[in-house]
A = this chain, B = another copy of it.
Amino acid sequence: MFARLAGLVGLGVLAACASSAASPGPDQPVRSLAEILEQAPASDWRTVDQNNLLYMQLPAGRVIIELAADYTPLHTANIQALARAHYWDGAAIMRSQENYVVQWGRDEADPRPMGDGQATLAAEFDQPRAGFEITRLPDPDSYAREVGFAHGFPVASNGARTWMAHCYGMVGAGRGDTAESGSGAELYVVIGHAPRHLDRNIATVGRVLQGMELLSVMPRGTGPLGFYETPAERTTISSVRLGSELPANERVNLETLRTDSETFRAVIDSRRFRRESWFLDPVGRINLCNVPLPVRVGG
């Protein structure tokens, strides 16, 4: 009985996606998402710099996060410094709020030296639009005049400024009441419908490339804002390391599809128009946060 529901296809871009739909035109063969990715030239994939990868070890496995060095260079440098200082060793998941964020950091009762890291940083909520090439989406967005992708991340713009969008799986740096009160020492990841009202109010610093399914299932905290009420409820982080500091045999050679590539444009098209036979209405539109950002393990 469940086999017949296979048509309710997912966003997991590395899963096989059947494509038996009618052709969109005589000269344009329909390719499944899997076929589009298989046929991508090697140059359409980007090897992620190990210096921009955070490997976070949890009891259930490893999470790998890419830092957005182009959009948030100050936060990226600070987070790299904190990782080199082993700042998060023995830190914990402090908060899991339903349909919102999972957040981690150190208990204030258990501080640790920050090494070359800073406790506060200048705000990095947006950048000049002129400095970025954006692969634009054609469909309207509830929050911004322009949305698309740059340097592998979902982004938005108002024409003058551009910023990374709070899509599912994006990582941000918690802050207090003032713009300069964040540092990256406390990080959160989006685990629900994109809270885009946070855009430009807080620094998004990267996204989870691997292990998101370990963070999203953290039991929800029962305190205000989803904080755990007792230390026993927290999940301990044994270590956070930069890929560049790991032994070569512990690194994962992650590659992301270049968001300025022809292959990525084909990915967008295949997700805007759902040509799989299951879809009775092929849609023809897409939201920024519904576009998959393909990741693979390179050779």
Contact = CB atoms under 8 A, between A and B. Distances in A.
A140 to B, nearest CB: 4
Given A8-B101, A195-B290, A2 B177 contact: no
Contacts of A101: 8, 10
Contact of A143 (B106, B287, B289): B287
Given A142-B140, A219-B217, A2 B283 contact: no
Interface in A95-148: 95, 97-101, 103, 105-106, 108, 125, 139-143
Contacts of A283: 143, 197, 201
Interface string A199-241: 1111000000000110011111000111100000000000000
A193 B181 CA distance: 29
Contacts of A100: 10-12
A288 interface: yes
Residue among A4, A99, A277, A281 with most chain B CB within 10 A: A99
Contact of A108 (B2, B94, B106): B2
Contact of A142 (B6, B125, B287): B287
Contacts of A285: 142-143, 197
A168 interface: yes
A193 B195 contact: no
A274 interface: yes
B197 A194 contact: no
Contacts of A224: 6, 15-16
Interface in A167-207: 167-169, 174-177, 179, 181, 185-186, 188, 192-202
Q: A-B pairs with the 9 shortest C-beta distances?
A: A4-B176, A142-B287, A140-B140, A213-B220, A1-B108, A5-B174, A168-B193, A217-B217, A197-B283
Interface of A: 1-2, 4-12, 15-16, 94-95, 97-101, 103, 105-106, 108, 125, 139-143, 167-169, 174-177, 179, 181, 185-186, 188, 192-202, 212-213, 216-220, 224-227, 271, 274, 277-281, 283, 285-290
Given A1-B105, A5-B175, A99-B168, 4 more contacts: A1-B186, A177-B278, A195-B290, A199-B281
24 contacts: A2-B94, A2-B186, A4-B177, A4-B181, A5-B176, A6-B224, A10-B225, A10-B226, A11-B99, A15-B225, A99-B212, A125-B280, A142-B286, A143-B287, A193-B193, A193-B194, A195-B290, A196-B287, A196-B290, A197-B271, A197-B285, A199-B281, A201-B280, A216-B220
